[in-house]
Chains A and B, each alone.
Chain A
Amino acid sequence: MEEIKLMKGNEAFAEAVIREGVDAYFGYPITPQSEVIEYLMLEEPYKRTGMVVLQAESEIGAIHMVYGAAGAGKKAVTSSSSPGISLKQEGISYMAGSELPCVMLNVVRGGPGLGTIQPSQADYFQTVKGGGHGDYKLIVLAPASVQEMADFVEDGFKMAFKYRTPVMLLSDGLIGQMMEKVQLKPQKARLSNEEIREKYGSWATIGHKPEERTIITSLELKSERQEKHNHKLQAKYREIEKKEVRLEKFNCENADYLLVAYGSSARICQKTIQLGKEKGINIGLIRPITLWPFPSDEINKAADKVKGVLSVELSAGQMVDDVRLAVNGKVPVEHYGRFGGMIHSPDEVLEALEKNFIK
């Protein structure tokens, strides 16, 4: 049994990256995410496992280093916060197009532009709807605790390699900066070059003989072939939608109203359920753990039993679009959220629910 530690979300992520047997981390500091690279530099994993930790010249440099490492079948990680993730979008689209696995972390801060360094969930559209160019999807995991900041590293890599696709952990300044108890997994060994050849040799660029060579590219000038490649990507995305949806439900049996919230807002909404009970209001909560694929079916089913659905996020209303599509007009769906770095309290969520559906 591993020791229980008190860690910040960012630190737990960094330690989990080392223990996952990751080959390389490439990043660039930005608040509220800088503890990731600070922790890695202090821990010196290059001494523990041989893992590379490198501060790139920029976020754009970092994501393309991830592209290079992933192309060679290595486990590579990058992390940043909102403005830095915007810079990475070109490389992310290239990785999706080239079918390269990686795990990325966005510790979201308030925007737009440089915005503020306080927590926000306003990068939902960027992460779930594209961000970069072209028809692609990222698998998006939304941690709601320090423990999940660690656990989702392993989960993310499993899916990233299974589907050969980039995975994003969409966190925020609150989960990144807060400290909670965390229990870490034991150290995994990094794969040897022989193991990489065996597992990923069919696609990775690892020094093949000329007749067996593999090419990692997102470029295909013949449109017929590019369409075919796109069909392949879309078939993969349909499979992910079928198999990888994850969610958590709270108090959904016999609830009269339903909250839908992810990450830090899902934590806040759990307290709202309790405050509602004290006032005789029966509230349920669906917490999407994967934002893509989105738990549309479960939300649609839950909508049958309630009078209204409130989508709660630290934004002006982004996920609410997906909630509305899921509910498909069965009951009213409204949005509530503070934004620009402000955080709603559990009481404010309850007041919003009452205002929208009860008063």
Chain B
Amino acid sequence: MTEEIIIAGFGGQGVLSMGKILAYSGIMQDQEVSWMPSYGPEMRGGTANVTVILSDEKISSPVLRNFDTAIVLNQPSMNKFEETVKPGGILLYDPNGILHPPTRKDIRIYKIEGALEASRMKSSKTFNMIVLGAYLKINPVVKMENVLKGLKKSLPERHHHLIPLNEEAIKVGLEKVEKVS
């Protein structure tokens, strides 16, 4: 099994760290992983994206044109990545700030009100974990126990007290994700 994922949004939404947790979760279940960010000006507040590959085999190219899953968190990323999803693949997006929803008919489209749910949880930082939870509901590429292990590995120890909050956010994502088409 190989899962090729692009996660794209604004800098500050936790796109890169969400990818990192996913990659660490893959390692926890003995998979090969690669995490390839778009770095540079993006890290200074513009758009940010990261390609994550989880595979049972050695990973060849970390650079891809098409993806099994696109997780899209803003309109510029929608414009760029909707067309890169492989036929039959998954597009997951947060409708917050999306003026032009996806229109493709040959892919599976889901939405998660990540920003809204994060504000309900009174913690904007839970946003990316809500989205991760939504993705894992649609496509359980990594087991929940491994996600929790991955969280522990990727968060510095001084943030370990936030793990229960992150776990709760993942559960919100699992519950609130909706199929669009």
Contact = CB atoms under 8 A, between A and B. Distances in A.
Interface string B7-42: 000000000000010011001000011111101100
B108 interface: no
Interface in A207-254: none
Nearest to B23: A6
B158 interface: no
Contact of A181 (B32, B60, B65, B66): B32
A68 to B, nearest CB: 33
Contact of A177 (B32, B33, B39): B39
Contact of B36 (A6, A177, A272, A347): A177
A6 B151 CA distance: 13
Interface residues of A, number: 29
A321 B89 CA distance: 41
A238 to B, nearest CB: 35
B116 interface: no
Contacts, number: 75
Interface string A246-271: 00000000000000000010011111
Contacts of B62: 174, 178, 180, 264, 267
Nearest to A270: B60
A345 B51 CA distance: 13
Contacts of B153: 6
A178 B36 contact: yes
A173 B33 CA distance: 18
B144 interface: no
Name the prevailing secondary structure of the B interface residues: mixed
A178 B153 CA distance: 17
A313 to B, nearest CB: 14
Contacts of B40: 31-32, 116-118
B65 A345 contact: yes
A343 B27 CA distance: 26
A346 interface: yes
Contacts of B154: 6
Given A6-B33, A179-B20, A180-B34, A346 B39 contact: no
B103 interface: no
A315 B33 CA distance: 27
Given A31-B40, A179-B34, A179-B35, A274 B60 contact: yes
Contacts of B180: none
Contacts of B24: 6
Given A178-B37, A179-B34, 12 more contacts: A6-B23, A6-B27, A178-B35, A178-B62, A179-B33, A180-B35, A181-B32, A181-B33, A346-B60, A346-B63, A347-B65, A348-B65
26 contacts: A4-B27, A6-B33, A6-B153, A6-B154, A31-B40, A174-B36, A174-B62, A177-B36, A177-B39, A178-B36, A179-B23, A179-B33, A180-B33, A180-B35, A180-B62, A181-B32, A267-B61, A268-B63, A269-B61, A270-B60, A271-B61, A272-B61, A344-B63, A345-B64, A346-B60, A346-B63
Q: Which 5 A-B pairs have the closest CB atoms?
A: A270-B60, A271-B61, A345-B65, A179-B35, A271-B60
Interface of B: 20, 23-24, 27, 32-37, 39-40, 59-66, 153-154
